[in-house]
Structure 1
């Protein structure tokens, strides 16, 4: 089992998702070579790491991310909802995570947007990535094709990827039209035919989100190049150890 382990929103099964606590915990794990995160814009244009369009679920605040200034987002507690021991964790700026992860792990940066909700989001993320010369250390992904097209227009050197939760018949055509070289797909849609098709087209595939050890091993058996996105890097490690022991038992 050589499949790359991608920590979904950091080590989010233990620490509060998309916080520095979760990301730092993930980076301490030798099996984690990639991390996935979600980025939106504050009202004053700061790229911030948070999944939901509102702050309601993962902080002690209320309201839309895009209607809240960065100074106000910084004041919110983004940890106590998960566990009292994480009280005081904050919503990170993308810049902070890039600074801490540079040279340690690669990043799957999801542009969290719908339609024209965040017209300045691609440019803002690209600015932070280029500022740190991390173009080769990231892939920028989104459910929103227009956002990916904008990324390639502004930064053709950065890898982009489409996120989907189904498998349309014209998938490869769509990926080629957007110049995507990465596919992030819900794991139940992965099989050998998909992997063969994507490999032939030079497209890397990541399956999300897999926390079950048995499913991890089944997916690993489909293709060793399939990346596995998980909230549980510790379960990935168990799956790896069990698979390795089966092949290398004396």
Structure 2
């Protein structure tokens, strides 16, 4: 297990950057990341691969919601994706390398690799290796995570010295139904922490009372959570979580 640096536990983490569409800062955009840096927040971001295997900073599997284009992100090259407008703004889809250049070690980066198996299974590896390659020369606080334990295991092999964690949840929402029921039942119990050498979990905020989360906290494992959208939710989450991932408001800087 690689310990999570203290900055990930003391600096609130802006979900997909400090995004605000009305202000011209779409999620996972350079503008959203600049805003987070200026406000002194950490940054959470999502990674999907381009057709040519380049780690792109983008949440969805499909392009429609954020670009108005049809089809999956994996059907376009990095060069093609870099020309697509995000939500009709001047912002375009950045590569992970672009974001590392922009942040330059100034704030902690929490990097989520989206599942490439389709059912949180073992058909992964290429994106993990590509992300590890990009991060190899980065001089700044960075940690990687995924819902898929196989992805976290692949990251352990590709980047053994990089802090890594599991994204966890109750698996009760409709958007998780593509995952087979037996797989959801298994993952709900968070069984893979030791096997993959997870140094933290980032758990669904509405499910922080789960006994397994409490057990992990008592064992000393750092608990992050997602996604907090109000000061009231933040106050409740911090009863369990060591830190929050937030959006839609200005999270407090503890101790400030």
Q: TM-score of the superposition, structure 2-length normalised?
A: 0.80
Q: Deviations over 1:112-145 (max 9, x none)?
A: 12316763101111111112244xx111111111
Corresponding position of 2:79? 71
- Structure 1: how far apart are the matches of 2:142 and 2:219? 20
Corresponding position of 2:95? 93
Corresponding position of 2:181? none
Q: 1:45 aligns with which of 50, 53, 57?
A: 53
Q: TM-score of the superposition, structure 1-length normalised?
A: 0.81
Give the C-alpha shift of residue 63 in structure 1: 1.4
Corresponding position of 1:247? none
- Structure 2: how far apart are the matches of 1:218 and 1:119? 37
Corresponding position of 2:175? none
CA contact (8 A) 2:124 2:154 kept: no
Corresponding position of 2:166? 162
Corresponding position of 1:231? 247
- Structure 2: how far apart are the matches of 1:157 and 1:200? 25
Corresponding position of 1:153? 157
Corresponding position of 1:10? 17
- Structure 2: how far apart are the matches of 1:200 and 1:157? 25
**TM alignment of 1:121-132, pairs within 5 A:** 121-132=127-138
Corresponding position of 2:31? 21
The alignment partner of 1:57 has SS state of helix
Q: Which runs of 5+ in 1 are unaligned?
A: 81-86, 245-250
Give the C-alpha shift of residue 88 in structure 1: 1.8
- Structure 1: how far apart are the matches of 2:63 and 2:188? 36
- Structure 2: how far apart are the matches of 1:202 and 1:127? 30
- Structure 2: how far apart are the matches of 1:145 and 1:69? 27
Q: Which runs of 5+ in 2 are unaligned?
A: 1-8, 172-186
Moved more, 177-186 or 9-18: 9-18
